[in-house]
Structure 1
C-alpha cells in the first residue's frame, strides 16, 4: 500500500494533469450521461483557486515589497522590474503577431456576438485607485487590489520601526497562503478531469479544428517566449 502511494506521489504534476485531461475528455465524449457527476469536481477546484488567489496576490505583493528593505532598494528594483516587464511584454506581443499572421488560426472561424471597438478612456486609469478597498476585495478587482498592496507595502517600508509585528504577520500569512495554494494545486488532475468531462460532453466538433489551431499558436508562442525571450532577458537583467 505504501509503495503504491509512493509511486502515485512520484508522478510529476504536469503528467497527472495531462492524464486527467485525456481521461476527462474520453469520459465526457464516450459516456456523456455518466460524465455529469464529474462536473462538481471541476467546480470545486475552480472555487478553491478563486478563494485563495485574491488574498494571495495582496499578501505576496505586500510581503515582497517589505522584503526589499529600503525605499532606495525598492526604487532600483522597481526601475529594473519596469524595464524587464515592458521589454518582455513588447517581445511577447511581437511574437504573437508574427505567429498569428503566419499560421492564421482564425481563418474560417465565424465569431458571434462581436462588439464594435470602443475608444480607451483615461477614466480607466483612475479606476485603478479604489474608492472602497473592501468592495475591491469582494468584487475581485485585481488591479485595485494590486494598487492597494503596493501602497500598503510602501507604507510598511516607510514606517519600518513602528510596524515590525505587521510585517511579520504578512510574512507568515504569505507562507500560509502559499502552502494552501500548493495543496489545492495538487488537486488539479481531479479538477481538470471534471472540467474536461463537461467540456467534451458539450463540445461542438465542427469548431474543434479552429480551437486546436488556436491552442497550437498559444503553445508555440509560450514555448518561444519561455525558452528564448525570458532566458535571454534573465541573463541580461540578473
Structure 2
C-alpha cells in the first residue's frame, strides 16, 4: 500500500439530501474508505449500510435538507462523517426491520466495522472510524519484540554483573511505568465497556423472544464451557507451596467471595483493581440507565463520550504493546525468573487443546440434538473456521460466517443478522477458556495457590472479561492485566501472558466462531426458525 493511502486527506463538501445527493455521498464515502486502506468487501458493506440510512433520513426529513460530508485525520485517527440538520432520526429506532442489523452497530463501530449514529444540537451524525493500516502486522511486531527480548536478555546475562545491574536499573522502572499506564486505563475501560454495552444491547426488547433466548444462551454457554474446562484441567497444575481448601472451608470462602462482589463504596474497587466489583457496578449502572431511558439521555451521551475517549487512549497505548512485551520479558530474563517455564508452556498447550476440542464437542452436541450428520456440519463450518484460525480476526470471518449460517446451516435471517454480529462481540467462549487456562499455567509458574475459591473466581472473571473485552486494539492486554490482578498473580506475568496470547489468539478466535455457529443452530431450532431441509442439504 502506498504511503499516501496511510493518511486520509481533509475534505468537506455540502450535498443535498435527495436521490442524486445520496449517490454523491456514497461515492465520496467509498473514495475516502479506499484512501484509508479499507478492503473492498468492507467498503461495499459500509456503503450499502450508509445508503440505507441516508434513504431513511431523506424519506423522514420534514423539509429540504443539505448534508455535510467531512473526512480527515484527528490526532492520528482517521474519520469520515456525514451530518444532516433536523429532527432526530435514529436508525435503531426508526425502522423495526433494521433493528437486528443496527442493534450492535455501536459495539462493532468501535472496531471500525460499521457506522455509528449520534444526535446533538439538532444535528444527525453518522461517523466511521477506519483502522489505520500498519506497515507490519501486530503479530509480526509482537514476534519481533519477543525475539528481541530473548536476544537482548541472552547477551546481557553473558556480560559482567555490573552491566546487568545497570540494565536492570533501567528496565525495571520502565516496566513499572508502563504497567502503571495499563492499570490506570484497565479499570475504567472495563467499567465503561460493560456499562455502555448494556445500554446498547438493551434495545434487544425490540426483537422480543428471539433476543432474550439468544442472549441468555450466549451468557450461559460462556460460563458453562469455562467451568467444565476448569473441572477437567485444574488438577493438572500443582504450584509449589500451593494448598487447596475443600469442604466447609472452601464453601465458606466461596460464599464470602460472592458477597464480596458487592463493594462497600464506589471508589475502592478502582483503587484496588477489583474487577468483579467493577463489573458488578458497571452492570448496575448500565441497567439503571437502561430503565431510565430518555430521562437519563444526557448522562448516556456523556458516558458514550467518555467511553470513546478512554478507548481512544487505549488505542494509542496499544501502538506500544510490542515495547511493553519487550520490556516485560527482558525484565523477567534479567531477574532469572524464567529458568523453568514448564507451567506456562503447559498452560499454553492445554489452552490450545481446549480451544480445538470445544468446537468439535459443541458441533457434536448440536448434531445429536438435531439428529443431523456430524461430518456434514463440520464440512459446512470448516471455511469460516479456517479464516478465523489463519487471521485471528472475527471481523475477517464475518461475511463468511453470515453466509454459512443463513445459506448452509439453515438459520433464519432474522436470527443471523442480529445474533452473528452480537455473538462475535460477546460470545467469546474461546476467549474465556484461553484466559482461564493460561492463568492456570502462570499460577503454577509463580507458585500461586489454586484452592476452590480461586478457581471459582477465575471462572467468573475470565468469563466476564471475555464478554466485556472492548473490541479495540489492546483490549486483550487490558483483560490480562485485570485478570492477573484479580487472581493474585504478579504484575510482571502480563508480559508472558501477552507472549502466549500471540499464539493462543488464533485458536481462541476460531473456537468462538465455530461454537457460535453450533449455538445458533440450537437457538434457531428452539425458536422454530431452523430450515432443516437447508441444513441437511449437502
* TM-score > 0.5 by shorter chain: yes
Task: Give the superposition deviation at 1:190.
Answer: 1.2
Match of 1:35 among 161, 167, 171: 167
The structure with the largest alpha-carbon Rg is 2
In 2: Cα distance, 1:196 partner to 1:134 partner: 32
In 2: Cα distance, 1:141 partner to 1:75 partner: 29
In 1: Cα distance, 2:261 partner to 2:214 partner: 22
Q: What does residue 133 of structure 1 align with? A: 266
Task: Give the superposition deviation at 1:47.
Answer: 1.2
Match of 2:343 among 202, 214, 218: 214
In 2: Cα distance, 1:199 partner to 1:95 partner: 30
Match of 2:320 among 180, 183, 187: 187
Alpha-carbon displacement from aligned partner over 1:118-157 (angstroms, at most 9, x marks no partner): 5232122111111211122222211111111101101011
Q: Is 2:218 aligned against 1:85?
A: no
Match of 2:233 among 96, 108, 111: 96
In 2: Cα distance, 1:183 partner to 1:141 partner: 25
Q: What does residue 479 of structure 2 align with? A: none
In 2: Cα distance, 1:175 partner to 1:56 partner: 10
In 1: Cα distance, 2:201 partner to 2:352 partner: 31
Describe the shift of the 1:116–1:232 C-alpha distance in structure 2 as closer, same or farther (beyond 3 A).
Answer: closer
Q: Is 2:248 aligned against 1:123?
A: no
Q: Is 2:141 aligned against 1:16?
A: yes
Q: Is 2:148 aligned against 1:148?
A: no
For the aligned residue pairs, the C-alpha RMSD in angstroms reads: 2.9
Alpha-carbon displacement from aligned partner over 1:157-190 (angstroms, at most 9, x marks no partner): 1100201111122222222222211221221111
In 1: Cα distance, 2:194 partner to 2:296 partner: 17
In 2: Cα distance, 1:111 partner to 1:75 partner: 45
TM-score (norm: length of structure 1) = 0.79
Q: Which runs of 5+ in 2 are unaligned?
A: 7-132, 157-163, 359-510, 521-538
Describe the shift of the 1:145–1:75 C-alpha distance in structure 2 as closer, same or farther (beyond 3 A).
Answer: farther
Contact 1:128 1:147 in 2 (8 A): yes
Deviates more, 1:129-138 or 1:66-75: 66-75
Q: What does residue 48 of structure 1 align with? A: 181
Describe the shift of the 1:50–1:153 C-alpha distance in structure 2 as closer, same or farther (beyond 3 A).
Answer: same
Q: What does residue 178 of structure 1 align with? A: 311
Higher relative contact order, structure no. (Cα contacts within 8 Å, ≥ 6 residues apart):
1
Q: What does residue 201 of structure 2 align with? A: 68
Describe the shift of the 1:64–1:35 C-alpha distance in structure 2 as closer, same or farther (beyond 3 A).
Answer: same
Task: Give the superposition deviation at 1:78.
Answer: 4.8
Describe the shift of the 1:15–1:227 C-alpha distance in structure 2 as closer, same or farther (beyond 3 A).
Answer: farther
Task: Give the superposition deviation at 1:91.
Answer: 4.3
Q: What does residue 165 of structure 1 align with? A: 298
SS of the aligned residue for 2:250 comes to coil
Describe the shift of the 1:127–1:94 C-alpha distance in structure 2 as closer, same or farther (beyond 3 A).
Answer: closer
Q: Which runs of 5+ in 1 are unaligned?
A: none
Task: Give the superposition deviation at 1:215.
Answer: 2.6
In 2: Cα distance, 1:23 partner to 1:34 partner: 19
Q: Is 2:519 aligned against 1:237?
A: yes
SS of the aligned residue for 2:333 comes to helix
Q: Is 2:393 aligned against 1:111?
A: no
Task: Give the superposition deviation at 1:115.
Answer: 4.3
Contact 1:27 1:35 in 2 (8 A): no
Describe the shift of the 1:176–1:224 C-alpha distance in structure 2 as closer, same or farther (beyond 3 A).
Answer: farther
SS of the aligned residue for 1:133 comes to coil
The structure where strand makes up a greater share of residues is 2
Alpha-carbon displacement from aligned partner over 1:37-57 (angstroms, at most 9, x marks no partner): 233332222111111010001
Q: What does residue 404 of structure 2 align with? A: none
The structure where helix makes up a greater share of residues is 1
TM-score (norm: length of structure 2) = 0.37
Task: Give the superposition deviation at 1:234.
Answer: 1.1
In 2: Cα distance, 1:56 partner to 1:216 partner: 30
